[in-house]
Structure 1
Amino acid sequence: MMPITAAPMHCAGTKGMEKVLIEHCISLSMRAHHSSTSPFLLHTLSGSSHCSIFAFAGSWSVDDWIDGEHGAFGVSKIDSSLFPSLKNLVRDAPAAVNMAFLRSFQMLLKTSRLEVEISKAAAEKKRIVFTGHSSGGAIAVLATVWLLEKHLRTDYKNHTVPLCVTFGSPLIGDNLFCQALQREDWSCCFLHFVMTMDIIPQSPLAPLASLKEELQSILQFISPKSLCLSSNSFGISQLLSKFYYTVLRNALTISNHQSCLSMGCATSLLGTLSGFIKLSPYKPFGTFVFCCSNGRLVSVKNSDAILQMLFYCLREASGQEMADDPCRNFKEHLQYESKLKSCLEMQNVIHGDYLQTNDLFLSEMNMDEMPLVETLLDDLDMGKEAWLHLHAAGDWEMQRFRNQKRIDANYNKIQEALNVLDQYRATCELRGLCYYDAFKLQRDAEDFNANVKRLELAGLWDEIIEMLVRFELPDRFEGRTEWVKLGTRYCLLVEPLDIANYYRHSKNEDTGPYMVKGRPRRYRFTQRWNEHAQQMPKGSSLESCFWAMVEEISADMNNKKPFIEVKERVLELEKNVSVWLASRKLRNDVLLGGSTFVKWWMALPKHHKFNSCIAKLMNAVDKSG
């Protein structure tokens, strides 16, 4: 078991960031709020850091926080042209993001010198740091992801990884947003500082679209330029209390729902609850550093645990304070600069990620671990209920890694089965048979054995797909190169056998074309997986479906469909065949004289074959046959 550990600041998920850099970030972020000339401030930090800090101003207009046209929580699909990586590969679904924040960032790119200044800093080999307080932090997050997309996915070696440091920033993206950052290994670029009593970071957990009037009043109240911070009128106190309890009530529902899922309580009641109560889609990502009232910092990376801590820290620490002073939680939002600098002076950071079973039962822990856990309990003012929820989050994360370990144990089994099928294909060629046609005919024992391997592999890959659909594997799994390569090899080698089996049993006559109705999800996913890893256009690597294309065009022609109606598909297929054979994604056995492909092509109209881009290749096959 890995214990909770005390560590200096440079070990707290900050990737070696210096205290002075964080202090510059918070100071510049607060200054950006008061800037009336630019939506962002740029500061160059010389010395060993040698970085350019871009600090974004927050907005105090409710329209820049919530877009009511996009539902109660103001979320919409991410702009895939700006953020192509922010998607779920197995579900083929884009991430969702706060539309108001996204719109503000898009406008910033169009109307300011942001892109010019970033390009200039990158050309000078400076490390780029994006920072912001409040909604300025949300803009900093989007700027960071945009830069990662723009430079690192295309030219990783020549660019330094950017950093994003936010203070009291509201949540901005959904679970798929979080997952994509983990998959790309970008989550480590984000560091979020949160005061335990600051309500703003978790405010998107409430349906703000129905609270726009209240939110506008609160934004005016907490604006750094506001003159009403000392106001304690009955009206504003009532408003703040209502907002506080609305956020807390929604956060409690999400906390309980998430814990039930983490503990495997996937009952019908949860589905019924989701049908009646619309839950906020927002989820934290990156490293969160909670600033405790005693000056200690608690660093957490587990997104489910962060979600629980956002709720319980606020509820436990501010219950009585809220009754005595309703303005307290909102004033806290503006005190980051003074309080955080004081915390940084202490250089006292505790990791809160390793919340294993034994951490909850101090009697079973090592004596040297007990003071650290007790300290963490005291620092965050959390009760046993909170720790049960945190334990569920930690245990769920460990279960996902155990699942991955079990899947990894099948890696060699998959490799061995693919090697057997590779040998089967080589044996078919020695017999003068095309791999596809031999399997489709199923005349020999080797064909039967190959089918057994096909079914065995289908079971192994379907298990992986189902785990990914249910988020039962670590988010980084989809980013593992060795599995992407194995999935691609599997797709190229085995999908032709699935297609052969499909048309051998004439399933197309009842179900429809393989590409439309019959293609299993395991092949669709492995194709998308490879295209994403290779930064290829979506749907551009269909070579494993070659035989399905041949079968469908052939079926249409056999049904007396005029050649003019299938000509475009034939031309496209011929062009692809030329490329796929050259790249060895198609093997030469497709050109064996008796193959389905050769027979089909030879039956095409003579005037078409004469001008075909593969005419020389096919004529050579005809002469050798």
Structure 2
Amino acid sequence: MASVFARFGGPETIRRASYAAYNNANGYVSQDFGNNTVCVAFSGSLDPSAIGRVDNKFGVCKINENNDCFESMVDGTTRKEPRERATVYSEALTKFLGLWNDIKAQVGEALRTGKTVVFTGHSIGGGIATLATLASLEKCGKGASVFAITFGFPLIGDEILARAVRRQGWANHFYNVVSKNDVFARTLLAPCISVSGFVEALLPYWQRSVEQMNNNDADILMEPADLDFNKYLVTVLHHACAVVNLITVNNMEPGNKLISSLKPAVKLSPYRPFGYYLFCSKEGGLFVENNEAVLPILFYSLASAQGEASISDHTGYDKVFNAHTNVVNLEGLQNLPLSQGAPQSSAMEIQLNALGIGIQNTRARLALRAAGEAEHKLIDNRNKLKDELAKLLEGHMTKVKEYRTRCLNKHVGYYDAFREQKEKEDFHANLNRLNLAAFYDKLEDMVETHQVPDDFQFIEELIKDGTEYRLYVEPLDIANYYRLGKHEDSGHYIRNARPRRYKALEKWLADIKPEEKKVGVLDSIPGITKDSLFWAHVEEVSWIMSNPRENLEVKRTRCNDLQNIVRQLLEKKELCKEEVVMGESSFVKWWKKLSPQDQQISPIASIFQG
């Protein structure tokens, strides 16, 4: 973390920029830091009544409300369309949208010319900085040199948003600084209505405090009178405790169905962390990359705070950086000591003690251990799946490819050979198909139930291997479906029988950015038709053509649809013509059902030339 700050002129430089934005009527300040770096700081000023002026319990709204800046921030594990959008704190989104049009051209130009852009902000200004960074990454992609550094506003959106950021590989673009006693940094863990009175009274005080610091005003600013600081603190801690307990139990028993069933019924705060966190105390700082550990630290570190300190710390980020060089990484959580006699890493233990999470705080240590074990389990699952996939590719997938090659050498397409099931090798191909299906069903389920890291489905080799599997093996699933006549009882394959694994693999490929990468994956798999549903289209149209109950207009429309599919594949050079027109293939049989006149005027007649 220290190296990140050093790159941008040091932590105090960033902190001063975030505070300076309070004095600007525009709501933001843009500065050139030198070293090819531009800093945009957003004001943390907020209408005191805003937190109580919300439409729902926690003040959230859909991230795409009144904008199209956050296309990727959706539930990435579902195949249903439209996919559920992430939710964010509505007041932060409203303020962001009010400022973004003024600065996006400047930001875009800076990034195009190779500059680094740092968005920063204190309090809700940090939330705006996070949204600005997200919008910039959506526009420019993972390689963009754009970062968010926030102070006192570590939470902005729900679990869908947090997972989407990690899925895109953007976590290292977000750095959140949180003071041990800063109660406002935890406020969104409580319902808005329960804290609105406290926040309305405190916001003007906090904003004047920052403005005094900016003006080097030494006058003592009186805290709001008749405000029960401890009640505010206890209210936030009460609701934060419920969130942390649920998360900890889920980390300890990730497959517990009772916990899963309780989640929709218990209306707890939806806000979840993403990015990296620096928790500060007078002793230094603890740098946290494990997102499962963030909420427990937010709660347990605040639990030892006193009422007045929890108020003053929200504007005291100038003080916590006096010891910023004493920053250690939080690591090895699954082996975190729980007793005095256990070996301890002194540097890390000093920071944990300073945050109130010392060896004496057993509940906090158990929560952190559970977070470490959860992270370790995700990584272990990922590694096991990758090893298993490598063996499958070397075995079953290679045999499917060899089967296809042998069929072509016999002048018959492997789709039609498998559909007929006349040879012993067709039977063995079916066994390979079933083994591969079992693995990809398991993989898809583990991604959907979050048993692997969120970015697992974006691993390039997984996308490439999964796409190759889909293009080679789904035609066999289609052939098997129609060979057994299942379409007569259950309906056609595409609408009624397509397995979830293929839908998921297709969706993961579609989610790749930029478009050139997607094309690159398909180009890396030569010599096969790039539409894994091609033969399903052929089967469906062939069945309609043979059905005497279908009227002529429907038959003509569906034939035209199939010809358009073929034409598009030909234009993109994504059709394996040799296989499609080989011998008496299913496609050739359909073609022969057309009248000579229709064949002559067909836009795909050239497929049979030569």
TM-score bracket for this pair, using the shorter chain length: 0.7 to 0.9
Separation in 2 of the partners of 1:52 and 1:101? 22
1:32 to 21, 24, 31: 21
Name which structure has the greater RCO, CA cutoff 8 Å, separation 6+.
1
List per-residue Cα deviations over 1:262-320 (Å, max 9, x = no partner). Answer: 1126445424533442122211111100111x24111001111011100100012x1xx
Aligned 1:163-202 pairs, distance under 5 A: 163-202=147-186
State the match for 2:55 in structure 1: 69
Show the counterpart of 2:583.
Answer: 593
Q: Distance in 1 between matches of 2:562 and 2:128?
A: 45
Q: Quick one: which amino acid aligns to residue 76 of structure 1?
A: K
Instruction: Determine if the alignment matches structure 1 residue 126 to structure 2 residue 121.
Output: no
Count of matched residue pairs: 581
1:257 aligns with 2:246: yes
In structure 1, what is the equivalent of residue 554 of structure 2? 565
Q: Deviations over 1:19-43 (max 9, x none)?
A: 734322211111111211x121000
Partner AA of 1:550 in structure 2: V
Partner of 2:526: none
Aligned residue number for residue 531 of structure 2: 543
* Correspondence 1:330 to 2:314: no
- Match of 2:455, SS state, is helix
Alignment partner of 1:97 out of 88, 105, 129: 88
CA–CA separation in structure 1 for the residues paired with 2:106 and 2:237: 40
Q: In structure 1, what is the equivalent of residue 327 of structure 2?
A: 349
Match of 1:526 among 490, 502, 505: 505
Provide the rounded CA distance (Å) in 2 between the counterparts of 1:65 and 1:599.
67
More displaced 10-residue stretch of structure 1: 441-450 or 220-229 = 220-229
CA contact (8 A) 1:152 1:161 kept: no
Amino acid at match of 1:504: R
1:494 & 1:205 partners in 2: Cα distance?
A: 47
Q: Separation in 1 of the partners of 2:197 and 2:537?
A: 57
Matches within 5 A, 1:199-218: 199-208=183-192, 212=196, 214-218=198-202
Residue among 281, 295, 299 paired with 1:311: 299
Deviation of the 1:547 alpha carbon: 1.4
Shift of 1:605: 4.4
Distance 1:99-1:115 versus aligned 2 partners, 3 A rule: same
> Would you say the 8 A contact 1:252–1:311 is kept in 2?
yes
Quote the offset at 1:434 in angstroms: 1.8
Q: How does 1:36-435 map to 2 (within 5 A)?
A: 36=25, 38-46=26-34, 49-61=35-47, 68-69=54-55, 72-78=58-64, 81-92=68-79, 93=83, 94-110=85-101, 112=102, 114-152=103-141, 156=143, 160-208=144-192, 212=196, 214-224=198-208, 230-234=222-226, 236-237=227-228, 240-264=229-253, 266-292=255-281, 294-316=282-304, 318=305, 321-322=306-307, 325=308, 328-336=309-317, 338-344=318-324, 347-357=325-335, 359-361=337-339, 363-365=341-343, 369-382=344-357, 383-416=361-394, 417-435=396-414
1:444-463 alignment, distance < 5 Å: 444-463=423-442
Q: 1:62 offset after TM fit, Å? A: 5.7
SS in 2 for 1:298: strand
Please point out which of 2, 19, 28 is paired with 1:9.
Answer: 2
What is the SS of the residue equivalent to 2:533? helix
Q: Which residue of 1 aligns with 2:525?
A: none
How far 1:194 moved relative to its partner? Answer: 0.4
Q: Deviations over 1:525-553 (max 9, x none)?
A: 1111112225459x999811111122222
Retained in 2: the 8 A contact 1:173–1:283? Answer: yes
Q: Runs of 5+ in structure 1 lacking a partner?
A: 1-7
- Measured against aligned partners, the alpha-carbon deviations of 1:226-282 in whole angstroms (never above 9, x if no partner) come to 999623533x22xx4444323212211111111111112644542453344212221
TM-score (norm 1): 0.86
Q: 2 CA distance for matches of 1:566 and 1:62?
A: 66
The Cα shift of 1:212 comes to 4.4
Tell me the CA shift for residue 55 of structure 1: 0.4
Give the conservation status (yes or no) of the 8 Å contact 2:276–2:288.
Answer: yes
Residue 73 of structure 1 contacts residue 280 of structure 1 at CA under 8 Å; is this kept in 2?
no
Shift of 1:364: 4.5
Describe the SS at the equivalent of 1:185. coil
- The range that moved more, 260-269 or 404-413, is 260-269
Deviation, 1:141, is 0.8
User: Which whole-Å CA distance do the structure 2 matches of 1:88 and 1:175 have between them?
Assistant: 9
Distance 1:18 1:230 in 2: 37
**Separation of aligned partners in 2, 1:89 and 1:74:** 20
| Cα deviations by residue, 1:471-518 (Å, 9 ceiling, x for unpaired) | 111223222111110010011011111111222222223333322221
- In the superposition, relative to structure 1, how do residues 567 and 224 fare at CA in structure 2: closer, same or farther (>3 Å)? farther
The residue type equivalent to 1:397 in the other structure is E
3-state DSSP of counterpart to 1:533: coil
Q: Closer, same or farther in 2 for the Cα pair 1:152/1:476, shift >3 Å?
A: same
Deviation at residue 616 of structure 1 after TM alignment: 1.8
Residue 67 of structure 1, CA deviation: 7.2
In structure 1, what is the Cα distance between the partners aligned to 2:558 and 2:185? 53
Determine the structure 2 residue equivalent to 1:583: 573
Compute the RMSD of aligned alpha carbons. 2.8
Q: Distance in 1 between matches of 2:450 and 2:341?
A: 33
What letter is aligned with 1:399?
K
Contact 1:299 1:349 in 2 (8 A): yes
2:279/2:287 contact within 8 Å kept: yes
Tell me the distance in 1 between the aligned counterparts of 2:481 and 2:375. Answer: 39
Deviation at 1:372, TM superposition (A): 2.7
Q: Between the two proteins, what is the percent identity of the paired residues?
A: 30
Decide whether aligned partners of structure 1 residues 448 and 63 sit closer, same or farther in structure 2, where only a CA change above 3 A counts. Answer: farther
Please say if residues 63 and 70 of structure 2, whose CA atoms lie closer than 8 Å, have aligned partners that are also in contact.
no
* Residue aligning to 1:610: 600
Give the whole-Å Cα distance in 2 for the aligned partners of 1:123 and 1:400: 36
Contact 2:190 2:239 in 1 (8 A): yes
Provide the rounded CA distance (Å) in 2 between the counterparts of 1:456 and 1:479.
Answer: 23
Q: Supply the distance in 2 between the matched residues of 1:85 and 1:30 (Cα, whole angstroms).
A: 31
The C-alpha deviation readout for 1:23-79, integer Å capped at 9, x for no partner, is 22211111111211x121000012xx3211000112412676577335544142546
Note if contact 2:141-2:513 (Cα within 8 Å) is conserved in structure 1. Answer: no
The separation in 1 between residues aligned to 2:267 and 2:205, in whole angstroms, is: 28
Paired amino acid for 2:266: I
8 Å contact from structure 1 (residues 515, 548) kept in 2: yes
Letter in structure 2 aligned against 1:81: D
Q: 1:333 to 1:585 in 2, by over 3 A?
A: farther
Shift of 1:361: 4.8
Question: Match for residue 215 of structure 2?
Answer: none
